[in-house]
Amino acid sequence: MPRIYDSQSNPIDYCKRHFPTEDVAYFVHGHKGDGPDGRGNCFGYDCEHPDYDDDPEMYKCEVCGCTLDGARDA
């Protein structure tokens, strides 16, 4: 599953069911500042997600809290 980065460059993960459209994602996450070092808005949509196998308990959906894995959520 792709991921979203908010304007501060924080990663936000969603399961396939709850992954928002780009317009909704920008409205919720994309207008909150100029990044962690003042370099500008770091909002990113449909970004590559790290390998789910690294730590299966690490990646949870922002909405429902389900554990994400590559097989189910790709």
Looking at the chain, the whole-number percentage of residues with pLDDT higher than 90 is 38
Region 31-60: mean pLDDT is: 79
pTM over 0.85: no
DSSP per residue, 12-60 = E---TTTPPPHHHHHHHHSSS-S-TTSSS---EEEEPPPPGGG-TTT-B
Three-state DSSP state, 72 = helix
pLDDT at 39: 75
Residue 64 pLDDT exceeds 60: yes
